[in-house]
Structure formats: C-alpha cells, structure tokens
C-alpha cells in the first residue's frame, strides 16, 4: 500500500516534469503543436477512427494499428511462423507455408493492398507480398487470418507486388530480380545476364466471391529490376504501371552499375489487351512449379497443391500491350492519382518528380510518338507523355499518396521529409520533416479513387533520438500527421512491428461490422474434431496416438492420458467447445519441440508431440480463459517401449479407477 | 481492495494535472470516468452469434425479471458477463414472491445494496457445477463466502433442503440452475 502510493507520487512527479518541459520546446519537439495530444487521444472505451494495415517487413507479418491512437491491435501471421498462434506449427496450418522449395517459415512482407470495388476500399481482403520466396498472401478481413498464399514462378524477389486493380480483378507481381526462367537451364554464368535473364510481371486474378487467387497470365519482360506498381483507375482502368530500374541490366555492383543511365522506365501494361491475347490463344503454356495454399475455415485446415503450368505472353512479340515511359534516375514509387489521369514516378536519385499524363500517353501511342525501342518494346517520348515536373521538391523522392482535395504527398528518404504538392499545378505547398529517413507513407484511401484524407502516416527507417535505446537496434517507427489544414501537423510517433514498408488505412466502420466472433461448432468439419465432451477419446493407430480432446471453461477432456509409449507420436487434436467471442483456449505440453496451440471458439487444431523420455508430462491451457484457468490442466503418462500399460483416459474421475480403460 | 485500485488512476491524474494547473482537476476526473463507461460496457456489445452468457439468458427469461432487476440494482450485470465460469442458482419470480411481503422492495432500496449483493452472491459460485457431478451432502462455497449444501435424491438436486433445481441451462460462461426458492445466506455474526 505504501509503496503503491510512492509509485503514484513518482509518476505524478515525472509527469509534472514532462509538463514543464513541454512549456519550453526545443529541437524536434517544436514540431508538435499544442493540441496534438487531444487529436490522437482515444478515450478508454472508445474506438479508433481507422484501421491501419502495416507491412511487417522482415518480420514477415502484417500488423494492425488504430489511427489516430497508434495502438497495436493485432499481428497477423502471414509468411512467418508464429508460435504464439501456433501458425506454421499446428498440423493444420503447416501447409500454408509450403512452397516449391519445401516448407519456408519466413519471408519479407513489404506491401499491402486492400481490396477495392469501383476504386473504393471495400474491406473484404488485404493482400501482402512475400519478397524473398516470391509469394502473395490474402488475408480475410472477417477473421483477420491468412486465407491463401500463392507462390509466383519465374520470379526472384517479389517486390513489385501485390498492387491491385480497381475492382480487385487482379493483384500483380513484378519480379525485382530478373532471373533465368524456371523451365530453362538455370546453370549459366551470372555474367551472361543480358542473354539469359528475364523479367516477368504476373497478373493474379481474384475470384470476387471466394477471393481465390489464380495466376491468370505472366508477361515476359526485359531483364530489368521491377520495383513498384500501381493500377490505373477511372479513365486509366485497364492499365497497370510498373516502375523499373537497372535498364543497364547490370548483374553486379548495382549501386554503381544500375545508375549509369539518366532514365529508366515506367512500364505501362494494357492488361485488357493482354486479356484479349489470352482469349485469342496467344499465351504460351510453360511448365513451372509453384505452391498454392488455401485455408478452409470449415475444416480449420490448410491444404497445399503444387501447380505445374503458367501461361506466358511475350512483350516482344505481342504489340500494343506494353509501352515504356522514360523516367529519371532509377524510379521507385509509381503512383496514380485518384482521377487516374496522373502517374507520378519517383526517381530515388532525382531532384524532380515527373508527373505523366494518361491522356497524353494515349495520344503518344496513337501518334506513335516513339523514341525508339528497348528490347523490342516501344519507348514513348518523355516530353510527349509528361504532364510536368515538380521542381526541386526535395532529395530522393520515393512514394506518393493522395488526399481528397487534389494534393499529393511525396516521401523523401534522403531529405527525410514529406512534401505536399498540388497535382494539377505541380506547386509545392508545404513540407514537414520526418524523424528520420521516411520510406513509404499512407493517407487513408490514398491509393484509391476515393481518398478519405485527414491524416498522412510516415513509416520511417531510423529513430535515433525518438525512443528509449534498446541496444543496437532501435524501434521501427511510424509518425502521424494531420492534413486537415493547409499545413501538415505532426501529431504522434508510434513504434511498429518489424520494419514497416507500405501500409494502408481504412475507415473502421467498413470493417468492424464484418468481424467474425466465433466459428460455429456445428459447422466444424475438421476430421479430428471432437464435437462435445462425449466424443473426446484416445485412439492408437500403430505408433500414432490420437487424442481427440475438448476444451471448455475450465477443463480439458480427457485430462489424464495413459498408455503412450516411447517411439509413439502423439497428436493432440484440441477442439475448443466455447461458442463465445474472445474466448480462445491454448494448449501446451511439456517438452513440445514446436509451439503452443491457440484455438478459437468452435475450432480444432492439432499439435504433434513426440515424447523423448519416460515419465508423466503436464499439459495446460495457455490463454487465461477464466477464473479457473490455472485449474485447466492435465497429465500424460509415457511408458517405455514394449510396456503393457493400456491406452486409457478420462476427466473428473477421482477414485482408484481414475482413468477408464478402453 | 478493488475500490482502492479504482481510486489510484484518479489520484494520479489529479496529482499530475494539479502540477500543471489546479483548476483542471475536477473536469479531468469526470471526463475520464465518463469516457470509461460511455459505450455501456461489454454487456452492451452487439453479438448475435455467440452463445448467451448467464446474464443474457436471465434477461431473456420472462420468469426471471425480478432476478435481473436485482442484478442491475446490485451492479452485477457486467461482472456476470465476464469470463467466469459461473454457476448461478437463479430463483424464479415465483420464488421471490414466496418471500415475506415487502422483502424484495426493501432490498431494492439504495441503502440496502450491500444486503442485496450479499444475497445475490450467495447464488453464484465460480466454477461450473453440473448436476450430474453433484453429490449428496456436497458443500459449495459461494461468492459471498458462505456454503450451500446439496442433497441429491433420485437425480434431483435440492439446495439447502429448500430450493429445488427445476432446470439447468448451459451458458457461454457457465451454467444456470433454475431454483424455486431464494437462497438465504446465514445471518452474519
């Protein structure tokens, strides 16, 4: 009691010091205006205004924050195993991480794409890319869980992905690394790059009812590096714009050798034309191998299929499908404005931002205003397609998002700032520093036809003076700015999971009403489900022991298990019988070499456990489920190989026949 | 103890704000309290798919309107919407009517809240006690720390020799045993 009072006084003292300091701002603190705290304060019991889906970078996951509070709600496991949720460890989820290279338990998730209808966020799904072992994942926004992962063949480094078209017809995947194609002999000298290495962009169709992805076609491209992409919208619907660098086609020391030319390209792909070619049978079937993994919410299980064919369209051979727009200095971001008229290229090394006009591009194509060809693809004349250049905006433009008032917001890595400019007049109207080295940025609805505006969020790479030091690596960070007035105002710093790259924000009311609360137990089709305590049992099949276990506040059935022998493998199939929102049960057993299970209400998940010594091993519920959570436990007995202890099990029997033989 | 915890954040806020400006203290305390309860608490969350908890089942029963009114008066609705698990012996309206005239009305007065809470707590145990696991002479320690005693005859359960369990209803966060008499805790020493 006395020490508690002391704590209160200490906290109060600390706060009063903080208050005093805020009266005399200095350094970067001066960037924060006086009412910032009120603007990000979401009172206890109140909801945030937006969900912010943030890529987790090298964590491989996706995280969900509230805006404006910056509170972390959830980390969604996508490409990396997550022992906390059993993802990639439970028998049911392992198949999600299957690839043509086998089980790959990690990836690097860079970009987010929320599904759209008519160019407006619709809250059905969010897609993410796996950079390292090329993949695209679809997360279902009813469950906030990864529902599907598709591997991308003929690709190395799926960076230019998973940008989405305005009716979610396609998500795309442009390869960062050009590579020898999968069905060619890959055993070639690396310095034969120019002859043997190709690029591809893939169009992955999305079933509008189920969300299921399918590689509709790939377009074979010159051997450059694809960086980012954005779909046309409105008048430019039917086109996809990819930025690329390394038009030099260097294969070593790219930091020098890929920066030789003044201009690389924005690659404009007419995907409606590509669809026509596919219909006309112009696609070439190529044999490849890629995994396609889906999670079924009825069986609560993932399955993985290896697909063996992809249809390829060759950009060299098929006219009117691909055009190149010269873009200065290794373009990175490639963003289309809400009207679909303007395409903003951001050369990482440039001191201007070129803004291209879709209308002019169409005219240039019609008039064949070409500046020769690159690898058989027409190059449009820079001046003929240019709307204009934003002059001296800053150093190192990377990405651009848009608001609902005709302004663009471009991030500048080198000069560490966000610059606001008028899309039509190209005038810079405001700039704010970011702390430090901003990469991506996000305006709610910023990449769509209908930006919601209100905030811009910066995702930064460095935070040296922003957070308490935590050893060699510091917190990754986001910064929230108000864009409601003429001037941007810094409101809040908040740390993020992994390294944040791209992120999108969506109004909370578009999602929260769809959020799933439970899985109905009567719809549980997991073949190992025990639907009710009466169905709980233990069965031996050779050296496999299957425990069909149920969990409900506050016990497991069975909770005493005997008859397991050395050399057995035990499968705990745990069904959570709860039908109540926010009541998962966990399951852990001593010595497990994998992880825990975290089982949602109505769901069944399985943990494989191979005993490595004789004895009695505790098992327990890991998720604090109830007042008697600590009582939710049991034992499993392991006897030597060849022992004659019979399989037996039970719960709640307290006499000497504690465990009913069966 | 619980009350002490509730008091701490307010104290801290008051101290903090008085450090900056003593005029803001009362406003801040009120605002914080309002904000915390503004959305009606977890029992007010719209949820048509989850199994009903013990409170929702009682609210949905036309035979338990007195009990529900008493739970509200005693401010136990939110607690019983919690994870539990709870075993609730739920007297019917008829059971309450069997009490001497004026008893219920008396207990519903604000100055009798502690008595009402004591009686209601005597109807709630933490844990799931199913009738099939109940044994003759078994004692269960209830939330007010007094015991009830069960008798089991031909599979029928009677509490404290007076209240018959007439039905049992599983709930999301426990189980309700409907009883035909109100359980009266032993007089306090």
Query: What confidence score (pLDDT) does residue A374 get?
Result: 97
Predicted local confidence at residue A11, as pLDDT: 47
- Region of A532 on the Ramachandran plot (φ > 0 left; ψ -120 to 50 alpha; else beta): left
- For residue A195, name the pLDDT band (cuts at 50, 70, 90): very high
Query: In which order are the strands placed within the sheet that holds A377-380?
Result: A225-231, A239-245, A263-270, A322-328, A377-380, A370-374
pLDDT above 90 for B166: yes
Give the mean model confidence (pLDDT) for residues A391-419: 95
| pLDDT recorded at residue B189 | 56
More confident site: A592 or B43: A592
Taking the domains of chain B in order of start, what are their residue ranges?
2-37, 50-179
- Does the pLDDT of residue B23 top 90, yes or no? no
* Spatial distance between the Cα atoms of A535 and A556, rounded to a whole number of angstroms: 12
Interchain CB contact of A41 with B (< 8 Å): no
Residues of A in contact with B49 (CB under 8 A): 517-518, 520, 581
pLDDT of res. B155: 86
In this predicted structure, the answer to whether residue B37 has a pLDDT above a threshold of 80 is no
Q: Do domains A50-514 and A521-661 have the same CATH topology?
A: no
Q: Answer whether A151's CB lies under 8 Å from A95's CB.
A: no
pLDDT value at position B43? Answer: 77
Higher pLDDT, A418 or A662: A418
Q: What is the pLDDT of residue B89?
A: 98
Which pLDDT score is estimated for A348? 83
| pLDDT band for position A629 (cuts 50, 70, 90) | very high
Q: Is the pLDDT of residue A370 over 70?
A: yes
Provide the pLDDT confidence category of residue A343 given band limits of 50, 70 and 90: very high
More confident site: A220 or A7: A220
Instruction: Tell me what percent of the residues of chain B surpass a pLDDT of 70.
Output: 78
Q: Under CATH, to which class is A521-661 assigned?
A: mainly beta
Chain B residues touching residue A13 (CB < 8 angstroms): 19
Asked if the Cβ–Cβ distance from A45 to B39 is below 8 Å, we say yes
Partnered with residue A661 across adjacent β-strands are A648
Q: Regarding the domain with residue range B50-179, which homologous superfamily does it belong to in the CATH classification?
A: FAS1 domain (2.30.180.10)
Q: Summarize the confidence of residues B95-105 as an average pLDDT.
A: 96
Q: What angle do CA B2, B3, B7 make, to 5 degrees?
A: 120
In this prediction, residue B26 has a pLDDT band, given cuts at 50, 70 and 90, of very low
Return the pLDDT at A606.
98
CA proximity to A164, closest of A212, A216, A210, A111 = A111
Instruction: Tell me the pLDDT tens digit for each residue of A10-31.
Output: 444 444 444 444 433 344 555 6
Mean pLDDT of A138-167: 98
**Band of the pLDDT at B18, cuts 50, 70, 90?**
very low
pLDDT of residue B45: 83
Q: Indicate the fold that domain A50-514 takes in CATH.
A: Methylamine Dehydrogenase; Chain H (2.130.10)
Residue A1 has pLDDT above 70, yes or no: no
Domain chopping of chain A, boundaries: 50-514, 521-661
Which band of pLDDT confidence, cut at 50, 70 and 90, is reported for residue A9?
A: very low
- Using the predicted structure, report yes or no on whether residue A660 has a pLDDT greater than 90: no
User: pLDDT higher for B139 or B3?
Assistant: B139
- pLDDT value at B20 more than 70: no
How high is the pLDDT of residue A29? 52
Which residues does chain B have within 8 Å of residue A1's beta carbon, measured at their own beta carbons?
4
Above 60 in pLDDT, residue A392? yes
Mean pLDDT in chain A? 93
The 10s digit of each residue's pLDDT in A156-172 is: 999 999 999 999 999 99
pLDDT at residue B24 tops 50: no
Does pLDDT of B25 surpass 70?
Answer: no
Rounded CA separation A212/A150 (Å): 10
Task: Give the closest-approach CA distance of A627 to chain B in angstroms.
Answer: 6
Question: Which of A13, A579, A626 is facing B84, going by the closest CB pair?
Answer: A626
Average pLDDT, stretch A593-618? Answer: 98
Quick one: closest CA in A to B17, which residue?
A: A16
Whether B101 has its CB under 8 Å from any CB of chain A: the answer is no
A residues 384-413 closer than 8 Å to B (CB): none
Where is A618: in which H helix or E strand? strand A615-620
Range A353-375 average pLDDT: 97
Are the Cβ atoms of A626 and B83 closer than 8 angstroms? yes
Q: What is the DSSP string of A176-223?
A: SB-B--TTS-----GGGHHHH-BEEEEEEEE-TTT--EEEEEEEEE-S
pLDDT of residue B39: 58
What ipTM, to 2 d.p.?
Answer: 0.77
Distance from the Cα of B22 to chain A's closest Cα (Å) equals 12
Q: Which of A369, A447, A373, A462 is nearest to A409 (CA)?
A: A447
Distance CA A152, CA A138 (A): 14
């Amino acid at each position: 009691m006395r020490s508690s009072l002391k704590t209160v006084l200490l906290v109060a003292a600390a706060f009063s010091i903080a208050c005093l300091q805020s009266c005399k701002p200095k350094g970067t603190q001066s960037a924060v205006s006086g009412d910032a705290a009120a603007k990000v304060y979401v009172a206890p019991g109140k909801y945030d205004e937006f969900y912010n889906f943030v890529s987790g970078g090298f964590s491989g996951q996706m995280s969900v924050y509230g805006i404006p509070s910056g509170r972390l709600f959830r980390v969604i496991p996508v490409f990396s195993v997550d022992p906390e949720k059993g993802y990639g460890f439970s028998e049911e989820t392992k198949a999600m991480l299957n690839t043509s290279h086998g089980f790959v338990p990690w990836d690097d998730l860079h970009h987010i794409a929320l599904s759209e209808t008519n160019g407006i966020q619709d809250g059905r799904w969010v897609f993410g890319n796996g950079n390292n072992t090329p993949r695209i994942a679809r997360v279902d926004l009813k469950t906030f869980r990864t529902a599907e992962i598709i591997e991308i063949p003929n690709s190395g480094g799926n960076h230019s992905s998973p940008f989405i078209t305005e009716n979610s017809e396609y998500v795309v995947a442009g390869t960062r690394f050009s590579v020898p194609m999968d069905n060619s002999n890959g055993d070639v000298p690396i310095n034969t790059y120019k002859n043997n290495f190709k690029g591809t962009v893939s169009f992955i169709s999305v079933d509008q009812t189920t969300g299921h992805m399918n590689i509709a076609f790939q377009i074979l491209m010159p051997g450059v590096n694809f960086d980012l992409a954005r779909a046309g919208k409105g008048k430019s619907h039917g086109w996809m714009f990819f930025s690329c660098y390394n038009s030099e086609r260097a294969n070593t020391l790219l930091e020098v050798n890929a920066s030789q030319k003044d201009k690389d390209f924005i690659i404009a792909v007419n995907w409606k034309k590509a669809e026509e070619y596919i219909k006309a049978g112009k696609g070439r079937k190529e044999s490849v191998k890629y995994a396609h993994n889906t999670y079924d919410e009825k069986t609560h299980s993932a399955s993985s299929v290896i697909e063996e064919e992809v249809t390829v369209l060759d950009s060299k051979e098929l006219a009117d499908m691909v055009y190149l727009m010269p873009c200065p200095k290794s373009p990175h971001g490639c963003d289309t404005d809400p009207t679909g008229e303007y395409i903003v290229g951001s050369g990482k090394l440039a001191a201007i931002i070129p803004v291209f006009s879709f209308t002019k591009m169409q005219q240039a194509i019609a008039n064949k205003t070409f500046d020769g060809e690159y690898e058989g693809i027409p190059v449009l004349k820079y001046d003929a397609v240019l709307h204009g250049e934003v002059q001296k905006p800053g150093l190192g433009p990377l990405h651009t998002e848009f608001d609902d008032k005709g302004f663009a917001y471009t991030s500048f890595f080198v000069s560490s700032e966000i610059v606001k400019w008028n899309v039509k007049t190209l005038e810079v109207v405001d700039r704010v520093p970011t702390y430090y080295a901003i990469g991506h940025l996000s305006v709610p609805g910023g990449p769509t036809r209908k930006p919601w505006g209100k905030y811009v969020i910066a995702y930064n790479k460095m935070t040296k003076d922003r957070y308490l030091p935590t050893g060699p690596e510091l917190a990754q960070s986001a910064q929230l700015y108000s864009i409601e007035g003429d001037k941007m105002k810094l409101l809040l710093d908040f740390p993020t999971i992994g390294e944040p790259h791209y992120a999108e924000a969506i109004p909370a009311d578009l999602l929260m009403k769809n959020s799933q609360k439970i899985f109905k137990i009567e719809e549980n089709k997991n073949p190992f489900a025990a639907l009710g305590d009466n169905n709980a049992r233990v069965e031996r099949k050779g050296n496999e022991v299957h425990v069909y276990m149920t969990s409900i506040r506050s016990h497991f059935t069975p909770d005493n298990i005997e008859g397991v022998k050395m050399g057995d493998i035990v499968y705990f199939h745990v069904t959570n019988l709860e039908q109540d929102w926010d009541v998962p049960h966990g399951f852990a057993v001593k010595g497990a070499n994998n992880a825990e299970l975290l089982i949602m209400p109505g769901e069944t998940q399985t943990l494989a456990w191979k005993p490595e010594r004789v004895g009695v091993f505790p098992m327990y519920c890991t998720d604090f489920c109830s007042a008697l959570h600590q009582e939710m436990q049991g034992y499993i007995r392991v006897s030597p190989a060849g022992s004659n202890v019979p399989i037996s099990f039970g719960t709640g029997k307290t006499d000497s026949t504690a465990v009913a033989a069966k | 103890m619980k009350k002490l915890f509730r008091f701490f954040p307010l104290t801290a806020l008051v101290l903090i704000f008085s450090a900056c400006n003593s005029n803001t203290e009362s406003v801040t305390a009120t605002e914080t309290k309002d904000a915390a309860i503004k959305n009606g608490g977890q029992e007010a969350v719209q949820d048509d798919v989850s199994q009903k908890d013990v409170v929702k089942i009682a609210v949905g029963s036309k035979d338990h309107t007195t009990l529900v009114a008493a739970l509200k008066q005693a401010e136990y609705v939110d607690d019983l919407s919690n994870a539990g698990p709870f075993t609730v012996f739920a007297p019917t309206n008829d059971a309450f009517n069997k009490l001497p005239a004026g008893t219920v009305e008396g207990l519903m007065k604000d100055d009798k809240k502690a008595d009402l809470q004591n009686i209601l707590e005597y109807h709630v145990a933490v844990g799931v006690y199913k009738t099939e696991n109940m044994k003759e002479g078994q004692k269960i320690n209830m939330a007010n720390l007094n015991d009830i005693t069960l008798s089991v005859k031909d599979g029928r359960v009677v509490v404290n020799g007076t209240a018959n369990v007439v039905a049992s209803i599983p709930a999301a966060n426990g189980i309700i045993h409907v009883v035909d008499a109100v359980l009266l805790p032993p007089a306090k020493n």
